[in-house]
Structure 1
Amino acid sequence: MILSKLAGRPFLLTAGLLTALALPWFVYPPVAMDILCWALFAAAVDLLLGFTGLLSFGHAAFWGGSAYVTGLIALHSGLPFPVAVLGGALFAAVLAVPIGFLSVRLRGIYFAMVTLAFAQMVFFVANQWRGVTGGENGLQGIPKEMFGLDLSDPFFFYYAGLPFILAGLWAAWRIVRSPFGWVLMSIRDNPARARALGYSIDRYKLLAFVLSAALSGLAGGVFTIGHGFASLQGVYWTTSGQAVMMVVLGGIGTLWGGAIGAALIVQLHDYLATAGFEETGIITGTIFILVVLLFRRGIWGTARDLIAARRARSSPAPETDRPKVEATV
């Protein structure tokens, strides 16, 4: 696959870095920050869906749970926002251990439904524990401070939060290209063979689940600091569904596709909200159906396959594949 090979080459990674650095100059900075946070969230979901074969509808628990913990740390401790964000990511990873331990033994729709049930439990706790989470009002006025610097300007905060998103994306990239990532893909493609080779499937799935939750929590923490509030919407199941939709739109099992899907959905929501159109679900749902019907592997996945097929047709056959003609006398 040509694009999958290019994705590991320095010039494509450099192009992605330059795009991230230049984004707030061309897009409203809060929207640019949202794109990056959702891109990391989509990459975390794709780590499970595309590379481990586990469809989770419960990742809102980690995104939203981290949002609340990040907000509480920032509000009540006076610590700089990087500490709050890392605290939220750590909470998401810890929360994922019992949820993952009870879920990874299941497969297919059963795994998806169990993770959804756990996420709804987190939603119920957040809604009822009003003394801590604020209930329906959420947490308001979360500060954006780092070592005495006021980062209330969204343009400056973008570059303060960017290193966390880039670190998370780099971690996801390294995971899927490590020996651990190859084991995950073998479990996805043929779990019986992976088990026969001596790999503990449940242990690898659990570790992938926890890593995915930590990355989701990192994205949710930065998102919360950027907006200055944490709400019940973050732990509601539709948040998980939106991340899955971004992955499917961009291309399952690509990582890059999640960023494309995030940019498309966030920009579309912003445009429709600015235009005063409230039923955004109709538009995004229509686009989702069209992409699934026309681009079965998502936008990035389809482009990757088309370029690979075109390159294969234009490349000459290897010398070893050409028929040999023996000289005759």
Structure 2
Amino acid sequence: MTDQTMSGAPVNEKTRQPLRVPVLHMGIFAALLIFFLAAPFFLYPVFLMKVLCFALFACAFNLLLGYGGLLSFGHAAFFGGASYISAHAAKMWGFTPELAVLLGTGAAAVLGLVIGSLAIRRQGIYFAMVTLAFAQMVFFFSLQAPFTGGEDGIQAVPRNLLFGLFDIRHDRAFYFFVLAICFGGVLLIYRIIHSPFGQVLKAIRENEQRSISLGYQVNRYKLAVFVISATLAGTAGATKALVFQLASLTDVHWTMSGEVVLMALLGGIHTIFGPIAGAALIVAMQNYFAGFGAWVTVLQGAIFVIAVLLFREGIVGVIGKWLKKPL
């Protein structure tokens, strides 16, 4: 049953019910939290922080593609742009880590609003190409701008005192700061997906014309999800800059946009935990197969082809299909 809002758009009665998190999802989140809380005592903290940052990046991208139905080839602009802003703020202005991340996140939000306002006027491959074009503009700006350091990037970014009080310069101490940001970001994405806003996004993804006929202002929803996705991608990039104490052109290069697409597809779009699994797999390959040099890219491509042929819904998507429960 539906009724009409003051604006004339329909509202599903089910969306008025409070959010009920499935027990399976609660168990998975709890298991992930326990694992990541214990992991730095057994695994290299910097590797784990990289996994967390890219997991948030992949989840932010998946919010746009998997639930908004919008394929962006330019998410490196937000990830790398926030990385530069955060690194510059921490090194040149002495910002504390939380302020540096917030500033980078805010910059990504503004950039997402500007790019999204223009990109949503196109659909399909044209939308993807517009986002790629803007990302390339950000790349060349980062190459030429004086504060970015050009090809050298911004190096030796300091990890200042958290809130001006707590010393988190050691990797293990900084790890828990990163864990709080990235895990909180993933939970926020989960909440967005399961909110009335998220349900409208799914409706637009499935049948945009029907959503328009029901009274929804589709472009506003598209712009909103684009900005949210860009903002959270920026959070991941700003945090990564402090993890590696470096912001470089790699973060804004078009290959970074391709990498996050690979992570989301490998784990499974239309899933909550797929991008996390995809990010962990790709980062682990890059870390443990580093000795193979350029062959790492070939291995990634081979695994991606196999996954596409055998796991059409992604690794986590197939597992959810076997369990007959959405993951």
The TM-score with structure 2 as length reference comes to 0.90
Alignment of 1:80-95 (within 5 A): 80-95=96-111
Contact kept in structure 1, 2:87 and 2:100, CA below 8 Å: yes
Residue in structure 1 matched with residue 282 of structure 2 by the alignment: 265
One-letter amino acid matched to 1:116: L
Q: Equivalent of 1:253, from 245, 266, 270?
A: 270
Percentage of pairs with the same residue: 46
Deviating more after overlay: 295-304 vs 156-165: 156-165
Residue in structure 1 matched with residue 130 of structure 2 by the alignment: 114
Residue in structure 2 matched with residue 173 of structure 1 by the alignment: 190
**C-alpha RMSD of matched pairs (Å):** 1.5
One-letter amino acid matched to 1:142: V
Alpha-carbon distance change, 7 to 168 in structure 1, aligned in 2, over 3 angstroms: farther
One-letter amino acid matched to 2:202: M
Q: Matches of 1:75 and 1:195 in 2, distance apart?
A: 48
Q: Equivalent of 2:254, from 218, 232, 237?
A: 237
Contact kept in structure 2, 1:138 and 1:231, CA below 8 Å: yes
Alignment of 1:158-169 (within 5 A): 158-169=175-186
Contact kept in structure 1, 2:159 and 2:168, CA below 8 Å: yes
Q: Matches of 2:171 and 2:267 in 1, distance apart?
A: 27
Instruction: Give SS of 1:304's match.
Output: helix
Alignment of 1:192-211 (within 5 A): 192-211=209-228
Alignment of 1:129-168 (within 5 A): 129=145, 131-145=146-160, 146=162, 147-168=164-185
Provide, for residues 97-127 of structure 1, a one-character-per-residue CA deviation record: whole Å limited to 9, x for no partner: 1100111121111111110000000001000
Q: Matches of 1:283 and 1:51 in 2, distance apart?
A: 29
Q: Equivalent of 1:98, from 110, 114, 119?
A: 114
Alpha-carbon distance change, 7 to 292 in structure 1, aligned in 2, over 3 angstroms: farther
Alpha-carbon distance change, 7 to 247 in structure 1, aligned in 2, over 3 angstroms: farther
Provide, for residues 41-78 of structure 1, a one-character-per-residue CA deviation record: whole Å limited to 9, x for no partner: 00000001100111101000000000000011101222
Residue in structure 2 matched with residue 315 of structure 1 by the alignment: none
1:8 CA drift (Å):
6.3
Instruction: Give SS of 1:115's match.
Output: helix
Q: Matches of 2:79 and 2:273 in 1, distance apart?
A: 20
Q: Matches of 2:293 and 2:138 in 1, distance apart?
A: 31
Residue in structure 1 matched with residue 81 of structure 2 by the alignment: 65
Contact kept in structure 1, 2:267 and 2:317, CA below 8 Å: yes
Q: Matches of 1:35 and 1:299 in 2, distance apart?
A: 17
Contact kept in structure 1, 2:76 and 2:251, CA below 8 Å: yes
Residue in structure 1 matched with residue 6 of structure 2 by the alignment: none
Alpha-carbon distance change, 223 to 7 in structure 1, aligned in 2, over 3 angstroms: farther
Contact kept in structure 1, 2:52 and 2:178, CA below 8 Å: no
One-letter amino acid matched to 2:219: D
Instruction: Give SS of 2:230's match.
Output: helix
Provide, for residues 168-192 of structure 1, a one-character-per-residue CA deviation record: whole Å limited to 9, x for no partner: 1111111100000000000000001
Residue 68 of structure 2 corresponds to residue 52 of structure 1: yes
Q: Matches of 1:245 and 1:180 in 2, distance apart?
A: 26
Residue in structure 2 matched with residue 316 of structure 1 by the alignment: none
Q: Equivalent of 1:214, from 210, 231, 234?
A: 231
1:5 CA drift (Å):
7.3
Provide, for residues 253-292 of structure 1, a one-character-per-residue CA deviation record: whole Å limited to 9, x for no partner: 112100000110101110011x353321100000000000
Instruction: Give SS of 1:50's match.
Output: helix
One-letter amino acid matched to 1:248: L
Contact kept in structure 2, 1:86 and 1:218, CA below 8 Å: yes
Bigger CA radius of gyration: 1
1:165 CA drift (Å):
0.7
One-letter amino acid matched to 1:99: I
One-letter amino acid matched to 1:136: E
Q: Is there any run of 5+ residues in structure 1 with no aligned partner, and where?
A: 310-329
Q: Matches of 2:285 and 2:42 in 1, distance apart?
A: 15
Residue in structure 1 matched with residue 240 of structure 2 by the alignment: 223
Residue in structure 2 matched with residue 304 of structure 1 by the alignment: 320
One-letter amino acid matched to 1:213: A
Contact kept in structure 1, 2:271 and 2:317, CA below 8 Å: yes
Q: Matches of 2:24 and 2:116 in 1, distance apart?
A: 30
The TM-score with structure 1 as length reference comes to 0.89
Q: Matches of 1:140 and 1:262 in 2, distance apart?
A: 25
Alpha-carbon distance change, 155 to 226 in structure 1, aligned in 2, over 3 angstroms: same
